[in-house]
Chain A
C-alpha cells in the first residue's frame, strides 16, 4: 500500500514569492494535517483538513492557507514568503475519526532566500 506522498521534495523561493506544496494521503484516509518543522524545533501544527473542509488551524498567520480536494489530496499555500518560513513541511494523513494515528509523508524542504 502506498504511503503519504508529498511534492516537491525541495523548493527554493525568494522573499515575497508564493509557494505551493502538495500532499496525497494514504488511500482511504480522509484527514490531512500539515506541520512545519523548522531546524532544531519541534513540529508545529499548521492546518487540519477532513472531508474537504478546514477543521482547525494552528497559530500561524493567514498567509498560510490550503485546501483539500475531493480525492482528499491537499495543497498548502504560503504567500508573501519570509526568510523564517524556511523549514521542512510535513503532511500526515489519518482516518477521518479524530484521535487516530497519523502517518507522515517525507516532507517538502522549503528554502526561502
Chain B
C-alpha cells in the first residue's frame, strides 16, 4: 500500500456542484496534514491545514479521520476557477520529519 493515496480522477463537475476528495495514508504515526492546489505547470499553493477538529474556509471544508486514516476536502458551490489538481500532504515523524505528497486529484469544473 502506498504511503499516501489519492484517486487521480478527473472529477468532472458542473459549476455550483459540491465535490469531495479523500486521501488515505498508511502511517498511523502521521501528525500533520495539508491540502494544496496545483495549477498546470505551476507550483503547489497551500489551500488549508487539516486539524483534528476539522476546519472550514469559505467554500472549503477539510476533515481528518484518524481511525480510518484519511483526510477529506469538500468544495461547495464549485467555480470554474476551482479547476486544478488537489494534493494532500501527510507529515510523519519517525525521528525526523518526512512530508509525503499524494499524486493529486484532478478537478475539472465546467459551465
Contacts and interface: CB of A to CB of B under 8 A. Distances in A.
B46 A42 contact: no
B46 A101 contact: yes
Interface residues of B, number: 23
B44 A90 contact: yes
Given A45-B98, A103-B46, A104-B45, 20 more contacts: A33-B99, A35-B101, A41-B103, A42-B87, A42-B101, A42-B102, A42-B103, A43-B87, A43-B101, A45-B101, A55-B96, A55-B97, A90-B43, A90-B44, A98-B32, A98-B97, A99-B93, A102-B46, A102-B89, A105-B43
Interface in A82-105: 88, 90, 98-99, 101-105
Contacts of A90: 43-44
Interface of A: 33, 35, 41-45, 48, 55-56, 58, 88, 90, 98-99, 101-107
A106 B43 contact: yes
Contacts of A98: 32, 91, 93, 97
B5 to A, nearest CB: 10
Given A102-B46, A104-B43, A45 B100 contact: yes
If over half of B's interface residues share one DSSP class (helix, strand or loop), that class is named, otherwise mixed; here it is strand
Interface of B: 31-32, 34, 41-46, 49, 87, 89, 91, 93, 96-104
A55 B100 CA distance: 15
B84 to A, nearest CB: 14
Contact of B104 (A42, A45, A55, A58): A42
Contacts of A48: 96-97
Nearest to B41: A88
Contacts of B98: 45, 56, 58
A88 B43 CA distance: 9
Contacts of B91: 98-99
Contact of A56 (B46, B87, B96): B96
